[in-house]
Amino acid sequence: LVTDFDSASPDIDERLLPGESPEQYVSRLAESKARVCDRQNDLTLGADTAVALGHRILGKPHDRDDAMAMLEALSGRTHEVYTAVALLREGSVQQVCTCTSVTFTALSSAAIGEYLATDEPWDKAGAYGIQGLGSALIERIHGSYSGIMGLPIYETIQLLDLAKIRYMLSP
């Protein structure tokens, strides 16, 4: 029964490879994170999330201007959030990737400035966090809410079930 676990943020190269789609990108990073953190005979989950506006991946903002440009680009538009989860066990990997459509409301410069004055945008792909004040920026979503936050719970549970791994509240 999985009730105790360690959490880590491995330092991996997160550069986008030429021709790599957002789904391929997050899948590669999720597996890389799992492999870096793996200890022999352990179960390891790796996950990664990317915000994509068309073919452009919006990472974590480098500074205030970068965050402002991202939020201005997302304003009044629909984008996708891709999250991949990799389950590594005894060298074998199983993966799942979710894609959620997120539509932002039209944002005024003042609203963007107020949001940038909070601590939320700085360590978030696309410069927003749906689980906090950033939820006020969003008109609607279609897909996995928990996937937008970085770990699609339903899909992760499916991976655990497929691997016959018991967890708290498993059926």
From first to last of its 171 residues, the chain has per-residue pLDDT tens of 455 667 788 888 899 999 999 999 999 999 999 999 887 667 889 999 999 999 899 999 999 999 999 999 999 999 999 999 999 988 889 999 999 999 999 999 999 999 999 989 998 999 999 999 999 999 999 999 999 999 999 999 999 888 888 777 766
Which of 4, 38, 48, 66 is catalytic? The answer is 48
- 65-81 core/surface letters (b: 16 or more CB in 10 A; e: else): eebbebbebbbeeebbb
Q: What angle do CA 25, 135, 70 make, to 5 degrees?
A: 50
Catalytic status, residue 11: no
Q: What is the pLDDT of residue 41?
A: 61
Q: What is the pLDDT of residue 37?
A: 86
Q: What is the pLDDT of residue 7?
A: 78
